[in-house]
Amino acid sequence: MSTTILSSATKTVRIGDGQPFAIIGERINPTGRKIFQLQLRNGDLSRVEIDVKEQVAGGAMLLDVNMGTPLADEAALMTRAVKLIQQLTDLPLVIDSSIVEVLEAGLAAYQGKALVNSVTAEDERLEAILPLVHRYGAAVIGLPNDEEEIPEDPARRVELARKLIHVATERYQIPIEDIVIDPLAMPVGADTAHPARTLETIAMLKDEFGVNMTLGASNVSFGMPDRHSIGATFLPIAISHGLTSAIMDARSPQIVRAVKAADLVLGRDEWGASWIAAHRAQQAREKAAIEKAEAEAREKAEARGKAEARGGT
């Protein structure tokens, strides 16, 4: 498989079959978050700072940035958000919008090589977005659906991916390593056969094109209880079929541990060094938390004792 290289001003991340699975933090997105939407309409990006901090702490390797908010100047918000995030972290960014002008605003503000999220196989979208990707030297996520359908049949998804890859590489000279295909993850709650179709699509795309792939991992569990368990089960299976990255909840230790364990058992973590280091770091955090709690309890006990002593005199 090819290797997709993304970068910020100072950090490079490689996505590929022999690389650690790339965790793309999904949280900087106001969809379904009414308070965040209100903050953005008011020009308040303070929640972005919190989302960056939590996702970096959780193990994100890239951050998806979406400013899609009704009644707001999305392009201006994207410009501000990209500049702010690049001051807060050196992680490469995924510029996420369905509006071409917003994508261009994000790419113009970005320092490094970004990943554009996303382009479909619709002729109009290909003609609008791929020149932008080429102009800014970015990489792009391709969705195998068109004007007519979001196909259920894996073979049809591969057919549309073939069209998208052909147009991108031949007409717009975008290297195939800069094309990341989304095999389409649909909710298991809508049809329990959906995950199997996604897995079949992943395997077919890997065999024919050797491209890197990503998907919205949270889509799989949408509408179901205990969503993190579903994600932690689905992703390692998808990784074994050829998935090389996912837009996912980097704040979930359960899901992050699952993909790190997949790296380990699939030979992408030499001598288990990353797994062991992460375990030791977690032990250190737990020990520090216990020591902090004990210190606080002692301080409270001492304060209570002094108060009782004063009351006795």
Q: What is the pLDDT of residues 121-174, one digit of tens each?
A: 999 999 999 999 999 999 999 999 998 889 999 999 999 999 999 999 999 999
- Which residues lie closer than 8 Å to 160 by C-beta, 6 or more apart? 121, 144, 145, 146, 151
Tokens of 73: 């100047």
Q: How far apart are CA 239 and CA 262, in angstroms?
A: 7
In this structure, the answer to whether residues 195 and 238 fall within a common structural domain is yes
In this structure, the answer to whether residues 193 and 277 fall within a common structural domain is no
In this structure, the answer to whether residues 162 and 118 fall within a common structural domain is yes
In this structure, the answer to whether residues 284 and 207 fall within a common structural domain is no
Provide the pLDDT confidence category of residue 306 given band limits of 50, 70 and 90.
confident
Q: Tell me, what's the pLDDT at 267? A: 93
Residue 313 has pLDDT above 90, yes or no: no
Total count of domains within the chain: 2
Taking alpha carbons only, the member of 223, 214, 11, 216 closest to residue 112 is: 11
In this structure, the answer to whether residues 175 and 299 fall within a common structural domain is no
pTM of the model: 0.93
In this structure, the answer to whether residues 172 and 96 fall within a common structural domain is yes
In this structure, the answer to whether residues 201 and 297 fall within a common structural domain is no
Tokens of 144: 């195998």
Q: Tell me, what's the pLDDT at 308? A: 84
Residue 259 has pLDDT above 70, yes or no: yes
Q: Tell me, what's the pLDDT at 210? A: 96
Cis peptide before 118 (omega within 30 of 0): yes
Taking alpha carbons only, the member of 60, 64, 34 closest to residue 259 is: 60
Q: Tell me, what's the pLDDT at 309? A: 85
Residue 232 has pLDDT above 60, yes or no: yes
In this structure, the answer to whether residues 233 and 311 fall within a common structural domain is no
Q: What average pLDDT does the structure give for the chain?
A: 96
Q: What is the pLDDT of residues 178-224, one digit of tens each?
A: 999 999 999 999 999 999 999 999 999 999 999 999 999 999 999 99
Report the C-alpha dihedral over residues 203, 205, 210, 214, rounded to 10 degrees.
Answer: -90
In this structure, the answer to whether residues 302 and 250 fall within a common structural domain is no
In DSSP terms, 180 is beta-bridged to: 141, 212
Residue 283 has pLDDT above 60, yes or no: yes
> Could you give the maximum distance between any two Cα atoms of the chain, in Å?
89
Q: Which range marks the domain in which residue 184 is found?
A: 4-268
Q: Are 23 and 258 in contact (CB under 8 A)?
A: no
In this structure, the answer to whether residues 168 and 89 fall within a common structural domain is yes
Tokens of 69: 């908010």
Q: Are 29 and 21 in contact (CB under 8 A)?
A: no
In this structure, the answer to whether residues 197 and 290 fall within a common structural domain is no
In this structure, the answer to whether residues 185 and 290 fall within a common structural domain is no
Distances from the Cα of 207 to the Cα of 61, 156, 195, 241, angstroms: 26, 15, 19, 10
Tokens of 285: 């955090």
Average pLDDT value for residue range 14-27: 96
Residue 95 has pLDDT above 90, yes or no: yes
SS3 per-residue string spanning 15-53: ECCCCCCEEEEEEECCCCCHHHHHHHHCCCCHHHHHHHH
Q: Tell me, what's the pLDDT at 178? A: 98
Residue 73 has pLDDT above 70, yes or no: yes
Q: Tell me, what's the pLDDT at 312? A: 64
- Write the CATH number for 194: 3.20.20.20
Three-state secondary-structure class, residue 191: coil
- The pair phi, psi for residue 267, each rounded to 5°, is 80, 25
